[in-house]
Structure 1
């Protein structure tokens, strides 16, 4: 019987959530321990479940998959001893595609046994033609063990006629549409691949005599690995003790469309993206906000923790004092207390508390990373007013989120996105704040280093959640009735 994941905390449903993080190591003693540390650093990319697969010559492939946090599962010596070997990959998950009632069979990495040996694969992203691929594969005799779109890659590899596993992976990924960064392993090789548009991140690092693949550079830091470079869009690297790092180009070259929301929210602020500090980019978004949407006020206050760098930038540029007007409770787990109706009515107060002595009588600028449904924003505004604030002004460090993401981000249906049905002024009235302004799309582009802003004819990033311009057509969703942006929009 499949185990069921406990329900998520009821106050964590008003933020966009990344689907997952991936990590792999080759050429070190007890690689699984390195992977566990790497996954711990990537925990922000997925808190639902995690898994590790390792290989050594004596025991072959071994795996462990668990629900919950890495620290609660992959720190016991007894478990880690079951994952020996110099080669391992891992995955942390937050489900988007696949079953929302999480089951252990959906937890990656996935493993397959082929005629030339076994292989495990972990995937970050979303396959936009997964429904069509799954139907085709089932009609041809494939038997799926999970509801995850990522399992399609294993079945496509199994049906490939190529000679070895890296070539079969190339063959399989050419059939896949959407966004994917993949870390995979055979008995002797570590493999990393990014889709031709490079929507999702993947970086290469060096540790002692071994090599590392990771979703973000912050996970390299925790194991003392040296950052080497990003895996380029459309690149496959095959790493082995015999040949080191080999670079292949299995896809037709295309202009990169990296996810711009990685800069805004998903990546950790201590990571490096495109040779730019994520923290510095977020601080610069706050600078752009202060230039575009100034307001007379007494205090700039971040909505912790994701709004903090932008609030610092806003305060510095505007000259308005910065203060921690809201304090986050760092120790509230996802099952802190049974969410009875009385507890639900407390709203975000279990997570956030207002610094009343600082707020009282002040005209407060609240800086947050995004507004999705708007439910949390309203509750925070009420807390600030209850603490005696004279005025509340929201400044949002991203453009209005008006379109769902189909590339590995958990986004509500479009009609549930506040910006899809309301103008900025209507959102201000809905949130009942004194003013509400979002950074412009051009301002966001300037903050990430594009001095001229966004090129509307050929956008430099994937910004579909803001613009509705999807770099890869979400074919499965269109068949289900999703309407693409019209010329009038």
Structure 2
């Protein structure tokens, strides 16, 4: 099954979002709303598991958008109970582009002490090694997902409770994981020791919520309580409320900095900071680092908008919507003809010709990956009569693939892996091209002294090539890290 926007293949994609609720009647309905708010994190498929003492565990997995599936009363009535978790997916590990329904989370396992369901955001970097070991010892896998390893590791644990088995399993796992899980009586949340992927705790009435982002708390009227800490496990039950444990060895946090740049919704809060304000500050830093004489600052919608506003404010150059996004493309062209496919980016973006003609234009975008979309946008802007086109990018050059839950092209497909900034400028055919520096990005997210090379505050491997967890599966396949080169 192809992704929802077949022409949107020149962006990095976060592979999933997780959401869970306990202590509310018809919890699955709240989960569906939360997943709708997290749809930007995964558009391929979604799933919900609920528990009710009468009917037991019930699940539903569907391809496509949450709004097209989990708003139907006939489906939601099959998911009763006051405890439920859910997941939206964009595949990284597993069969990209040909997702099978068995790959759609949450995954469920029946253990001697009862059932458990698990939803995972992130990527396990030693999943293939674990999978080989588990198969050799008799495990039978049902999916191609790395997340299923967690269920099998739990099954092999000798601990007497499901939370203790989960601790056992996750101690074997390398990479990034934010997990929302459930038993018959508890909602469970866990973040990996580096805290690479986000997970937050909310409160609504007598109920509790776990979510990938705060924007999903807002949609159900939940109050944001706090972020789950890196390396923390929380057990939530109606009787005891929130119990906190730290089952992993302490390590310095390395939260994914690209969550600030692109992945998270601009109305979310990360680390106590508004994502929108951080992106606006990125634009301010970019204007300071890379000024240029021009007539108009235009965002590449929608992800470039806050940075473009910041760039305009700092530079004094007027801001304008020079490019308009078609918000209703949806799945209309899920299987486009070759003629339609050749239209490419014009199906989703259109130039505001009356605003562009005759002007020197600064285009602000969040990133350059392969460069294919950037070239098409430049062509559209020039066709509309622009005098000059200048690109300003709200992230450093993306030169290294991510192995922690982001769908990234192979390194040789990343433009910045084999081109200098000047070479990329010539390849894109623009008058100038500048990226924000890594120090500038750190300043924008609140680290006033920039990046500390001795102890980076974030995971920035996609820019720096410095991986906080060795991608062991990929290294076995021949991938060379920066340190090995």
- Decide: shared fold, TM above 0.5: yes
**2:3·2:43 contact (CA, 8 Å) conserved in 1?**
no
Structure 2 residue corresponding to 1:359, chosen from 356, 360, 371: 356
Structure 2 CA distance, aligned partners of 1:28 and 1:258?
A: 31
* Other-structure match for 1:93: 89
Structure 2 CA distance, aligned partners of 1:179 and 1:367?
A: 30
Structure 2 residue corresponding to 1:41, chosen from 19, 25, 37: 37
Structure 1 residue corresponding to 2:58, chosen from 59, 62, 80: 62
Structure 1 residue corresponding to 2:373, chosen from 373, 376, 379: 376
SS of the residue 2:481 aligns to: coil
The alpha-carbon distance between structure 1 residues 39 and 377, as it changes in their structure 2 partners (threshold 3 A), is same
**2:5·2:334 contact (CA, 8 Å) conserved in 1?**
no
Q: How does 1:83-162 map to 2 (within 5 A)?
A: 83-100=79-96, 101-162=98-159
SS of the residue 2:146 aligns to: coil
Structure 1 residue ranges (4+ consecutive) displaced by more than 3 angstroms after TM superposition:
6-9
Structure 2 CA distance, aligned partners of 1:180 and 1:107?
A: 17
**2:402·2:461 contact (CA, 8 Å) conserved in 1?**
yes
The alpha-carbon distance between structure 1 residues 32 and 215, as it changes in their structure 2 partners (threshold 3 A), is same
Structure 1 CA distance, aligned partners of 2:479 and 2:204?
A: 45
SS of the residue 2:285 aligns to: helix
Structure 2: segments with no counterpart, 5+ residues: none
Structure 2 CA distance, aligned partners of 1:148 and 1:236?
A: 23
Structure 1 CA distance, aligned partners of 2:189 and 2:334?
A: 40
* Other-structure match for 1:399: 396
Q: How does 1:14-413 map to 2 (within 5 A)?
A: 14-100=10-96, 101-336=98-333, 338-413=335-410
The alpha-carbon distance between structure 1 residues 9 and 269, as it changes in their structure 2 partners (threshold 3 A), is closer
Cα deviation per residue 1:259-282 (whole Å; 9 max; x = unaligned)?
A: 000000000000000000000000
SS of the residue 1:385 aligns to: helix
Structure 1 CA distance, aligned partners of 2:215 and 2:148?
A: 28
CA shift for structure 1 position 242:
1.1
Structure 2 CA distance, aligned partners of 1:32 and 1:452?
A: 45
**1:179·1:199 contact (CA, 8 Å) conserved in 2?**
yes
Structure 1 CA distance, aligned partners of 2:334 and 2:27?
A: 36
Structure 1 CA distance, aligned partners of 2:309 and 2:75?
A: 43
SS of the residue 1:346 aligns to: helix
Structure 2 CA distance, aligned partners of 1:380 and 1:276?
A: 31
SS of the residue 1:245 aligns to: strand
**2:21·2:210 contact (CA, 8 Å) conserved in 1?**
yes
SS of the residue 1:183 aligns to: strand
SS of the residue 2:141 aligns to: coil
Structure 2 CA distance, aligned partners of 1:387 and 1:408?
A: 38
Structure 2 CA distance, aligned partners of 1:131 and 1:487?
A: 21
Cα deviation per residue 1:279-312 (whole Å; 9 max; x = unaligned)?
A: 0000000000000000000000000000000000
**1:270·1:278 contact (CA, 8 Å) conserved in 2?**
yes
**1:36·1:90 contact (CA, 8 Å) conserved in 2?**
yes
Structure 2 residue corresponding to 1:416, chosen from 403, 413, 418: 413
Structure 1: segments with no counterpart, 5+ residues: none
Structure 2 CA distance, aligned partners of 1:179 and 1:461?
A: 13
Structure 1 CA distance, aligned partners of 2:268 and 2:334?
A: 33
Structure 2 CA distance, aligned partners of 1:258 and 1:221?
A: 22
Structure 1 CA distance, aligned partners of 2:336 and 2:416?
A: 29
**2:4·2:330 contact (CA, 8 Å) conserved in 1?**
no
CA shift for structure 1 position 7:
5.4
| RMSD value, Cα | 0.9
**1:9·1:335 contact (CA, 8 Å) conserved in 2?**
no
Mean Cα deviation higher: 171-180 or 331-340: 331-340
SS of the residue 2:482 aligns to: coil
**2:235·2:242 contact (CA, 8 Å) conserved in 1?**
yes
Cα deviation per residue 1:380-423 (whole Å; 9 max; x = unaligned)?
A: 00000000000000000000000000000000000000000100
* Other-structure match for 1:470: 467
